[in-house]
Amino acid sequence: MAVKPVGQSDSESAASPTIGGTLKTGAHLVRRFVGSLSSRPPSETDETWALDLLNTGQVQVWQQMSPQDQRHAIAVARDVSQRLSEVEGPAMASDWFDDAEQFRRAAAVAALLHDCGKIVSDMGTFARAGATVLWAVVPDDKAEDWQQRSGARRRLAEYRMHPTIGADLLRAADSQRLIHTWAAEHHQRRETWTVPEPVGVLLKECDDD
């Protein structure tokens, strides 16, 4: 299977994950925004499919995610699963997995839960849009300072830090390395990933579709 390279924004930080650095543009962003206005839960079929992939701790994390985020996550994870069904064995992640089925399940869960850290900031669609714009212009190192504050600044910092927060939640939920590492790295530049590069490319590409 050919996996197209994923473009990187020049404004992305090599040292740490950025929200502003991964601002998406055009029709994709508009579609995501409009879709996120509906609080319709995932279909029963989709929900059952997702829950079957998760362990007990991950289910508790999943159930705190918004319906909008769950729907998007399922769409991404189904895309990942479909593409991996066309691949022979775990060759894309041979250093991390021996078993193809274990790899495919872990990759799907990584897609399902990579944004779970957003449950802590608990922002709605419009607040997230504002936060994304704000973090495009405010230096990233403000986030650590603001995380010690209260009110709006704290929540903005928590939104900015959602990759780290999500990784912590997923480690606490006894997740495999690919799952919590992708949560931590999914806004980082490709050059700084520690996840197997072809897997990161696939996960990123499915999220951006």
- Do residues 26 and 148 touch, judged by C-beta distance below 8 A? no
Stretch that binds Fe ion, among 2-10, 30-38, 111-119, 176-184 (CB under 5 A): 111-119
The answer to whether 163 and 117 have CB atoms below 8 angstroms apart is yes
Cβ proximity to Fe ion, 21 vs 42, nearer residue = 21
Instruction: Tell me whether residue 69 or residue 90 sits nearer to Fe ion (CB atom).
Output: 69
Residue with tokens 């995380």: 147
Q: Which residue has the tokens 């069904």?
A: 85
Q: Which is nearer to Fe ion, 90 or 111 (CB)?
A: 111
Selected binder of Fe ion within 69, 79, 115, 207 (CB under 5 A):
115
DSSP 42: P
Q: Is-contact 186 163, C-beta < 8 A?
A: yes
Give me the least distance between CB of 206 and Fe ion, in Å please.
Answer: 13
- Which listed range, 8-16, 41-49, 115-123, 170-178, lies at the site for Fe ion (CB under 5 A)? 115-123
Q: Cβ closer to Fe ion: 105 or 204?
A: 204
Q: Phi/psi of residue 86, each to 5°? A: -95, 0
CB of 17 to Fe ion, least distance (A): 8
30 burial type by CB count under 10 A (0-12 exposed, 13-18 middle, 19+ buried): exposed
Q: Which amino acid is at 133?
A: V
Give the number of residues in contact with Fe ion, rule: CB under 5 A. 1
Nearest position to Fe ion, beta carbon: 115
- Region from 68-76, 112-120, 135-143, 148-156 binding Fe ion, contact rule CB under 5 A: 112-120
| C-alpha to C-alpha distance for 83 and 145, rounded to whole angstroms | 41
Please state the closest distance from residue 88 (CB atom) to Fe ion, in A. 30
79 binds Fe ion (CB under 5 A): no
Residue 108: C-alpha distances to residues 73, 74, 79, 85, 208 (Å): 9, 9, 9, 11, 15
Binding site for Fe ion (CB under 5 A): 115
